[in-house]
Structures are given as structure tokens and as C-alpha cells.
Structure 1
């Protein structure tokens, strides 16, 4: 009897290598962002694309708040075209980071998504920064 996992055969190794390698060009994770911050090797701009209220309640340390609707050529004029933006939103249940990544790529910037967003950050045991101490559930909201 075949398990549901094997019901659809796995891709050949060469295709799997290509697929998973390509995903890494588009994504990073909370652990890699945190490690970069810990070593001081931050060569990207971390962007929380949620609205200002959600950002104020709690955000990843070092992140700036640029809600997706504000990502325009004028708003980003101070950033050289080679600036790597790493975007995140509330978590996997929200596509705000994807929308922001599309906007940034349309404007010609390199971009990656920090998969997991705020939820992933908290799941890793990392702390948020914000002016108001709140429980994690209150900090996660998305109004992007």
C-alpha cells in the first residue's frame, strides 16, 4: 500500500535541487535575519509592511515601517537600486509581504520575504520591539 506522501512521486534530485535553490533567492527566514543582526552583518533593509498601529504594538528589532501602500518610487528615492529589501508581515496567514515584494520588484529593487513574519519571529523565541508591551497575539495584527 502506498502512503499519501508517495501518492505523487517525489521530483528527481536535479529538479528538487533547482526548485529549493531557487526558493532561497526569494526567501530568508527569521533565524537568518536574527543571526545577521547578532553579528552586525546587516546588509539589507528590514521592512515591516503592516500598518503603523501594528508596527507600533510590536515589530522585529531594526525594522522600518513602510506599509505596502506607501511603497512608491518617491518614498524609496533615497535608496540605491541595489538595496536589498527584506519584507515581512504578520505571518503565513497574510500575503502583505508578497504584495510588498511585488511592488518593490516592480520598482526595480532586489527583495526577499522573511518567511514566518511576526509569528515566525515569536515562534523562534525572539523578542519584538515596540512602545507598548503587549502579549504576542495583540502585536501580530495586520492592517496592510
Structure 2
């Protein structure tokens, strides 16, 4: 028996619930890029780490810069309550997006984490924007 099969796989029902829960909390760089390319941007993309200067050097096109430390009820009141936020940070080695997602959820806001962050975006070969504005894909 291999290490793979030593512990039996979950039932299809348990697996379906698990993966549906993950997809309700996460999205990936390819799906964000596809939505942008199709003009189906029904979310607000937030880069939640780094300085304004780092954001200006390189960010995901369409992303706003709002550090997780600056996420407050007052700041988020700029958007309707049902707005879906997609947050990202530097990459798998960074927990800024998790911190931002937690803050948004505690504020009662719908949120997903873009897994991979800037590192994932680069790994997909997707273009970056430069400058102080969100830019376009």
C-alpha cells in the first residue's frame, strides 16, 4: 500500500463539499485574468501589501492598492455591501491577503483570495501594469 492510498479517499460527497468550500474562498490568477479579458469584472481586485511606490512599479492590471492595515469599515463604505472583493499579496510566502480577507469577512464583506498573488500572476505569464493607477489588462 502506498502513502497515497494508506489513508482512504474521502467519499465523493465529502470531497464535493470540501472543494466547493475552497472555491467559495479562493480564485486563481487565470480566472481573474479571464474575467478581465472577457469584460466580466464583477469584483474589486485589491493589492493589499506594499507601499504605493511598490504598487506603482508593478501590480496586477485593474487592481486597486489598499493595504490590509488600511481596511476599515469607514474605508470599505465606499463600495456597496454586496461588492465581492478579491485580494492578493506578494505570493504564497505572504499572508497579507489572508489578513485582508479576514478583515473584510469580519466587516461582513464577501471576499475571495487570489491564490498565488503576484508570484502566481508572473508564473502564468500574465502582464503587469505600472504607475499609480489600476491600469488595464
TM-score by length of 1: 0.87
| Cα shift at 1:24 | 0.6
Alignment of 1:9-24 (within 5 A): 9-24=8-23
| Cα shift at 1:6 | 1.6
Structure 1 runs of 4+ aligned residues shifted over 4 Å read: none
- Between 1:3-12 and 1:39-48, the stretch displaced more is 3-12
Residues in 1 aligned to 2:115 and 2:68: alpha-carbon distance in whole angstroms: 16
Alignment of 1:28-43 (within 5 A): 28-43=27-42
Question: What is the RMSD computed on CA atoms of the aligned residues?
Answer: 1.3
Q: How many residue pairs end up in the alignment?
A: 131
CA deviations on 1:25-62 (whole Å, 9 max, x unpaired) are 00111011000100111010000001223322211000
| Cα shift at 1:76 | 1.4
- Tell me which residue corresponds to 2:104: 104
Alignment of 1:1-144 (within 5 A): 2-52=1-51, 53-131=53-131
CA deviations on 1:113-133 (whole Å, 9 max, x unpaired) are 0111001111111011114xx
Residues in 1 aligned to 2:18 and 2:33: alpha-carbon distance in whole angstroms: 25
Q: List gaps (5 residues or longer) in structure 1.
A: 132-144
- Between 1:30-39 and 1:8-17, the stretch displaced more is 8-17
Task: Give secondary structure in 1 for the equivalent of 2:74.
Answer: coil
